[in-house]
């Protein structure tokens, strides 16, 4: 276990005792500032440990006999400080489980320039946290993932974002393996039986953006063509494990155009001398390491039959990570409380640039969907603002959530739209130019925007969303003299929240009329009159929800099929939110699901079915209501599939409009999974069998989830065991994940119990978390999944990393009773305290469960009857 590891290191290298209250829990004391790193690592992936020699040039601001820095689970053989020709032996002690360490010297170090030198070894991690290794097929590979505070698990450092220095790296490894870092390789040399790879010094970077990759990689070489901002080609490589050697072409062809679009937006060339786009099988997401972005296999490696959703994710995520090369890497936050600015801006850019890259994929609309999803988290009383003060290391991970990404991205979009694209872009360029290769704060960014806009009021509007948590809800009522609007903070039934107001850029449509204004008071009147349906979030671009009377909801739902995509998403979100707040009648959400199925945008057309499925998973629809529920979904979506047609062969719809392809995939999933349509399942199962028999053309990847789910539903435990075995033998990201998900999401208690008994036998550490989460989503397997989670919690933390541990409490969030809430609190709170991770996530989880219980108590009978 990680905790046991740090206790052992204290025993082996104990220095002067440090009282717990004296250990810095956040920013280190401002005594020493790094100015350069020289990192020499020996990385042989098939070994269980790596070793290193690290030197850090430091500016010591005053004489000191001890220094705090960072290091976690490092077996320190030697630590020394050099001042000129003098050496000062040091005792290295890890004094905190999150990786705070202390150097003690018998003689005080003088003020001025000091070099700290370390020799050590450490274990590889087994998941994407620190320097980790994974066995793919029969070969070992190593990658890094250092954000937020995992660089300290790979080398001693001052692991804070505000410290930006050059890094000079050498990697020694087995002959024949690829070794890469942030900078171009400049030399190789024999080192005994190994090979030493030397890299040019990097441009100034913080520790969390440093990256190393070593292994028998497959590589595709290319370049990004010169652009008006860049006179020479930019070297480009796509890097992946050997089994994925045939899936590099898509990323090689499409990464360059995204770089060019970003250069045009920012008005400057790519900030680093090369770009490696690297795939890892356990990354989960993606990371913007300077010049060496690392992505999950499923995000970067696409073949000719890639589903529309996978193409959309490629565009959005690659644009997001590459935007970070400017906004995050070129200019970095001084501390983690300004992380929101990095991620919110990059999220907005991901959708914007992704949409420019492939307009046919409608990637831009996804930003609205993500923002509406974020509102579910932001609506809770247990929460935080986008811009959150972070005092301790234990609080850092809470900033990586839907509030930062979904809400933050939408707030950036609102302000950009309010200012106008040119003024907002001018402010961005001004900010980057002022702080290039340095660090900056939110206030620096606000100042640049205000200067570009020539209007300081924009800062007040931005701060009203950035500096306070919560979602505004705008109540709109039709009056003789116009539309009466009032704002308050939205909350779920059973939750209590304080009174708040915002400065809301409010855009309302009434029929063909549209009016925008800044709602900065509790209420106002908008002078729009007429008989048409009211759309209180015109375009769907505002970060707020709306509430209407039953009559007005009816009119808007009737207009739903003709609404543009953004407004259709806003309707679905606000209607469901109004129902969960105890206002809109449950019957309205079923009516909306039926009518919105006629909307032209696929997500809007199927959102109603997906939302009803969430009620079923939480147990709000069960027992005697299930047959009518399934019949309702079948009546809505079966006619749609009949019109769309269904050919399961790989590539059958490759030339079709992407959104129509996406609609078919979603409809098939709802019919096979939720409606349990016998005809659809009877079509899917033979295709799944044929695919599993080796005929890969029999089943398009877009239908993997539905087909494998139907295969398990028909074949029970025998089919589940077969899929589980095949998944573990596969290195294809899509099919492996879909097979495992089908087993875990079966809703069969017997299959669930069998799977839990084998989770530790083959799935990777990150897959184990994913699978227990899927089991916990289904009512029939929820209790056993949570019991397994608690009994394996310590091992999961050790194998997945302490960063991942902060998300574990959310595995319980699908519960819907007071008993579920009490159980989550009793079982999970001790673990949260033990690991100093996940307190906010557990608070949110418990509140969600209690709110669901309140909804069930107040409206359970109405929900059960809404399919009659």
Instruction: Determine the Cα–Cα distance for residues 534 and 512; give it in Å rounded to an integer.
Output: 10
Sign of CA dihedral 432, 436, 437, 443: negative
Q: 100 by DSSP, 3-state: which?
A: strand
DSSP notation for 642-707: HHH----STTTTTTS-HHHHHHHHHHHHIIIIIS--HHHHHHHHHHHHHHHTT-GGGS-GGGHHHH
Instruction: Determine the Cα–Cα distance for residues 270 and 348; give it in Å rounded to an integer.
Output: 19
φ and ψ at 501, to 5 degrees? -135, 160
Instruction: Determine the Cα–Cα distance for residues 135 and 157; give it in Å rounded to an integer.
Output: 28
Q: List the strands of the sheet with 482-489, edge to edge.
A: 523-526, 482-489, 472-479, 545-547
Say which residue the tokens 């069930």 belong to: 856
CB 813 within 8 A of CB 380: no
CB 43 within 8 A of CB 52: no
Sign of CA dihedral 596, 597, 598, 604: positive
Start-to-end Cα distance in the chain: 53
585 to each of 373, 569, 575, how far by Cα in Å?
Answer: 21, 19, 9
Which residues are catalytic, by number? 321
Instruction: Determine the Cα–Cα distance for residues 228 and 226; give it in Å rounded to an integer.
Output: 7
Tokens of 340: 């929101």
Tally the residues of the chain: 868
Instruction: Determine the Cα–Cα distance for residues 866 and 252; give it in Å rounded to an integer.
Output: 51
Tokens of 639: 């006619």
Say which residue the tokens 């079509």 belong to: 683
CB 823 within 8 A of CB 458: no
CB 278 within 8 A of CB 294: yes
Instruction: Determine the Cα–Cα distance for residues 21 and 23; give it in Å rounded to an integer.
Output: 6
Tokens of 157: 């450092």
DSSP notation for 814-840: T--SHHHHHHHHHHHHHHHHHHT--HH
Instruction: Determine the Cα–Cα distance for residues 383 and 391; give it in Å rounded to an integer.
Output: 16
Nearest-CA neighbor of 569 among 313, 362, 372? Answer: 372
Q: What is the 3-state secondary structure (H, E, C) of 704-773?
A: HHHHHHHHHHHHHHHHHHHHHHHHHHCCCHHHHHHHHHHHHCCCCHHHHHHHHCCHHHCCCHHHHHHHHH
Tokens of 580: 């969960």
Nearest-CA neighbor of 8 among 91, 102, 80, 76? Answer: 76
Instruction: Determine the Cα–Cα distance for residues 79 and 56; give it in Å rounded to an integer.
Output: 11
Nearest-CA neighbor of 290 among 212, 352, 185? Answer: 212
- Given the DSSP bridges, would you call strands 292-296 and 275-280 parallel, antiparallel or unpaired? parallel
Instruction: Determine the Cα–Cα distance for residues 822 and 849; give it in Å rounded to an integer.
Output: 9
CB 181 within 8 A of CB 212: yes
The one-character DSSP state at 407 is: I
Instruction: Determine the Cα–Cα distance for residues 326 and 332; give it in Å rounded to an integer.
Output: 9
């Amino acid at each position: 276990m990680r905790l046991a590891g740090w206790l052992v290191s204290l025993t082996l290298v104990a220095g002067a005792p440090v009282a717990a209250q004296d250990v810095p829990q956040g920013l280190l004391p401002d005594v020493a500032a790094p100015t350069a790193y020289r990192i020499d690592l020996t990385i042989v992936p098939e070994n269980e440990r790596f070793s290193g020699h690290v030197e850090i040039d430091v500016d010591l601001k005053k004489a000191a006999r001890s220094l705090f820095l960072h290091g976690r689970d490092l077996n320190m053989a030697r630590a020394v400080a050099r001042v000129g020709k003098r050496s000062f032996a040091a005792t290295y002690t890890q004094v905190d489980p999150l990786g705070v360490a202390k150097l003690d010297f018998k003689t005080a170090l003088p003020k001025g320039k000091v070099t700290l030198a370390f020799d050590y070894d450490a274990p590889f991690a087994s998941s994407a946290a620190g320097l980790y290794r994974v066995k793919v097929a029969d070969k070992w590979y190593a990658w890094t993932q250092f954000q937020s505070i995992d660089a300290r698990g790979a080398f001693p450092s001052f692991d804070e974002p505000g410290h930006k220095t050059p890094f000079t790296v050498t990697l020694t490894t087995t002959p024949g393996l690829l070794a890469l870092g942030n900078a171009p390789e400049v030399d190789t040399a024999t080192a005994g039986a190994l090979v030493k790879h030397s890299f040019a010094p990097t441009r100034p970077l913080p520790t969390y953006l440093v990256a190393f990759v070593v292994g028998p990689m497959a590589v595709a070489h290319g370049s990004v063509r010169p652009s008006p901002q860049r006179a020479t080609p930019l070297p480009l490589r796509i890097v992946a494990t050997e089994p994925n050697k045939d899936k590099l072409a898509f990323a090689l062809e499409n990464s360059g155009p995204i770089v060019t679009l970003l250069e045009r937006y920012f008005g400057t060339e790519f900030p680093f001398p090369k770009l490696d786009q690297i795939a890892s099988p356990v990354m989960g997401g993606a990371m913007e390491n300077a010049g060496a972005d690392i992505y999950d296999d499923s995000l970067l490696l696409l073949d000719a039959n890639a589903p529309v959703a996978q193409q959309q994710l490629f565009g959005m995520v690659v644009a997001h990570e590459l935007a970070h090369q400017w906004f995050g890497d070129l200019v970095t936050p001084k501390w983690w409380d300004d992380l929101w600015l990095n991620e919110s801006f990059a999220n907005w850019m991901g959708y914007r640039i992704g949409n420019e890259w492939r307009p046919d994929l409608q990637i831009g609309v996804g930003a609205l969907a993500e923002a509406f999803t974020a509102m579910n988290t932001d609506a809770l009383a247990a929460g935080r603002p986008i811009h959150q003060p972070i005092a301790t290391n234990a609080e850092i991970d809470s900033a990586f959530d839907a509030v930062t990404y979904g809400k933050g991205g939408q707030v950036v979009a609102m302000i950009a739209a309010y200012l106008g694209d040119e003024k907002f872009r001018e402010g961005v360029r001004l900010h980057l130019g002022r702080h290039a290769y340095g660090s900056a704060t939110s206030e620096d960014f606000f100042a640049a925007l205000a200067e570009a806009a020539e209007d300081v009021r924009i800062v007040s509007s931005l701060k009203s969303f950035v500096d306070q948590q919560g979602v505004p809800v705008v109540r709109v009522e039709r009056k003789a003299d116009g539309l009466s609007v009032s704002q308050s903070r939205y909350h779920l039934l059973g939750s209590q929240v304080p009174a708040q107001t915002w400065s809301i850029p409010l855009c309302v449509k009434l029929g063909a009329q549209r009016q925008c204004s800044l709602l900065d008071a509790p209420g106002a009147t908008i002078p729009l009159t007429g008989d048409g349906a009211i759309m209180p979030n015109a375009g769907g671009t505002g970060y707020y929800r709306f509430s209407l009377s039953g009559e007005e909801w009816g009119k808007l739902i009737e207009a739903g099929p003709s609404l543009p995509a953004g407004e259709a998403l806003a309707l679905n979100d606000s209607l469901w939110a109004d129902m969960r707040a105890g206002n809109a009648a449950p019957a309205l959400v079923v009516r909306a699901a039926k009518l919105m199925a006629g909307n032209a945008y696929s997500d809007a057309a199927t959102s109603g079915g997906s939302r009803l499925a969430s009620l079923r998973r939480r147990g709000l629809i069960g027992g005697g209501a299930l047959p009518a529920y399934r019949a309702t979904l079948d009546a809505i979506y079966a006619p749609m599939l009949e019109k769309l047609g269904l050919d399961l062969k790989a590539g059958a719809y490759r030339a079709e409009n992407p959104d129509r392809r996406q609609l078919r995939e979603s409809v098939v999933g709802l019919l096979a999974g939720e409606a349990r349509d016998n005809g659809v399942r009877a079509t899917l199962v033979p295709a799944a069998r044929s695919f599993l028999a080796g005929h890969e053309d029999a089943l398009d990847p877009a239908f993997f989830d539905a087909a494998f789910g139907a295969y398990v539903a028909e074949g029970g435990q025998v089919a589940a065991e077969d899929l589980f075995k095949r998944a573990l033998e596969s290195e294809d990201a899509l099919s492996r994940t879909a097979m495992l998900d089908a087993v875990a999401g079966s809703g069969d208690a017997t299959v669930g119990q069998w799977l839990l008994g084998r989770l530790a036998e083959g799935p990777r550490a990150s897959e184990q978390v994913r699978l227990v989460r899927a089991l916990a989503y289904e009512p029939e397997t929820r209790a056993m999944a949570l019991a397994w989670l608690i009994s394996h919690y310590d091992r999961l933390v050790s194998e997945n990393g302490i960063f991942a541990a902060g998300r574990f409490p959310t595995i319980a969030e699908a519960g819907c009773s007071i008993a579920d809430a009490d159980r989550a609190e009793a079982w999970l709170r001790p673990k949260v305290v033990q690991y100093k991770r996940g307190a906010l996530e557990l608070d949110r989880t418990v509140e969600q469960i209690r709110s669901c219980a309140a909804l069930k108590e107040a409206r359970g009978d109405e929900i059960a009857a809404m399919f009659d």
